[in-house]
Amino acid sequence: MRVVITGGAGFLGRRLAKELLRRGRLIGLSGETETIDELVLFDMAAAAPPLDDRRVCNLTGDIADPAQVKALIAPGTASVFHLAAVVSAGAEADFDLGYRINLDGTRGLLEACRALPKPLRLVFASSVATYGGEIPDTVTDATAQTPETSYGAQKTIGELLVNDYSRKGFIDGRSLRLPTITVRPGKPNKAASGWASSIMREPLQGQDVSIPVDPATRMACLSPRRVIAAFIRAHELPAASLGRYRSVLLPGISIAAKDMAAAVTRHAGNRRIGRITWEADALIQRINDGWPKETTSERARRLGFEGDSGIDEIVQGFIEDELDQPAS
């Protein structure tokens, strides 16, 4: 079984790769459990350090280059996890880049999949940025997608493409609409939601941090542990359980920035905690204000997707997985 992860050098791509390698197997399109023989991690830059496993192939390239993507989706590819994207604030700041990577790249990938002699299974990472404007604080399966950012528009179009390519039988696709994933390790990125990781990640490592939103700002959140489980769950669901509509809204609990800060103190242990200050950024605040404060989905529940119990579960998971483990 040949599996491809686009965005494979990123945090979620790398974490998904580690879990797939640990499991060693996936349910394939046939409905049977198959052994993962090759795991291809594709990104614009190589992961550092690379995963030390004979099954891993690291490829660097441009997701928006049709020739490179055609070579990536070689005959024999059974599954694709499509995580590659320009993040929210980056796509908003650079209109052309956002559409090139997030829309043209996704369309090119789907075309490469379509060219295979038989359909493969594809999991697309979408976002709650597909909602915007005058939406309820709690978004449900019935809430219309009304994006008010370029990133949100690009992800909405991506979902529609996955639906249509699946309808035509070119792929067996499924899209997961992700809440904000926190806590992300590493360095801050350009995502407008990045503060929801920085507010916990930096202080727990003894670093001061400035947060660009009001302390009362609420965010729909899902932990890395839960989202990786969701990617694999989405892949292994039979197509019949999804029906004609291939998008699933994942559950994200509502957490205020001030409550994230409080959780840092509760879980400090004997660590020296960095100082949290608040310095509003009008663009970041505006983008965040247009996003859901909570997501809940009866459809996701029926399909077996689970959210976190609360902020303490999220922070404790970050400490156990990132701070209490040796670097790898």
CATH label of the domain that carries residue 70: 3.40.50.720
- The pLDDT of residue 262 is 97
Q: How far apart are CA 6 and CA 295, in angstroms?
A: 26
Q: Tell me which residue of 273, 245, 251 sits closest to 138, measured CA to CA.
A: 251
Radius of gyration of the chain (CA): 19
Structural domains in the chain (count): 1
Tell me the per-residue pLDDT of 216-263, one tens digit each, with 9 for 90 and over: 999 999 999 999 999 999 999 999 999 999 999 999 999 999 999 999
Residue 282 counted as domain residue: no
Percentage of the residues of the chain whose pLDDT score is greater than 90: 87
Q: Tell me which residue of 9, 13, 2 sits closest to 228, measured CA to CA.
A: 13
Residue 203 counted as domain residue: no
Residue 32 counted as domain residue: yes
Q: Tell me which residue of 67, 101, 61 sits closest to 85, measured CA to CA.
A: 101
Categorize the per-residue pLDDT at 49 as very low, low, confident or very high, splitting at 50, 70 and 90.
confident
- The pLDDT of residue 326 is 56
- The pLDDT of residue 85 is 96
Task: Please list, residue by residue across 203-215, b when 16 or more beta carbons sit within 10 angstroms of its beta carbon and e when fewer do.
Answer: bbeeeebebbbee
- The pLDDT of residue 108 is 98
Boundaries of domain holding 25 = 2-179+222-251+295-309
Catalytic residue among 99, 151, 165, 245: 151
- The pLDDT of residue 96 is 97
Q: What is the mean pLDDT of residues 290-301?
A: 94
Is 131 one of the catalytic residues?
no
Q: What is the mean pLDDT of residues 260-278?
A: 95
Categorize the per-residue pLDDT at 188 as very low, low, confident or very high, splitting at 50, 70 and 90.
confident
Residue 217 counted as domain residue: no
Residue 74 counted as domain residue: yes
Q: How far apart are CA 58 and CA 145, in angstroms?
A: 35
Q: How far apart are CA 206 and CA 216, in angstroms?
A: 24
CB 41 within 8 A of CB 9: yes
Kindly tell me the burial class for residue 67, based on how many C-beta atoms sit within 10 Å of its own C-beta (0-12, 13-18, 19 or more).
exposed
Answer whether the bond into residue 292 is a cis peptide, omega within 30°. Answer: no
Q: How far apart are CA 59 and CA 9, in angstroms?
A: 9
- The pLDDT of residue 324 is 83
- DSSP assignment of 66-94 equals HHHHHHHS-TTEEEEEE-----HHHHHH-
Residue 300 counted as domain residue: yes
Residue 284 counted as domain residue: no
Kindly tell me the burial class for residue 16, based on how many C-beta atoms sit within 10 Å of its own C-beta (0-12, 13-18, 19 or more).
buried
CB 8 within 8 A of CB 18: no
Percentage of the residues of the chain whose pLDDT score is greater than 70: 99
Per the structure block, which two tokens stand in for 253? 């609990």
Mean of per-residue pLDDT scores for the chain? 95
> Rounded to two decimals, what is the model's pTM?
0.93
Looking up tokens 């049709």 gives 66
- The pLDDT of residue 191 is 78
The secondary structure element, H or E, covering residue 125 is strand 121-127
- The pLDDT of residue 47 is 81
- DSSP assignment of 219-269 equals EEEE-HHHHHHHHHHHHHS-HHHHTT--EEEPPBEEEEHHHHHHHHHHT-T
pLDDT above 90 (res 189)? no
Q: How far apart are CA 252 and CA 55, in angstroms?
A: 33
Q: What is the mean pLDDT of residues 123-130?
A: 96
pLDDT above 70 (res 195)? yes
Tell me the per-residue pLDDT of 52-94, one tens digit each, with 9 for 90 and over: 999 999 999 999 999 999 999 999 999 999 999 998 888 988 9
Residue 150 counted as domain residue: yes
Other beta carbons within 10 Å of 18? 16
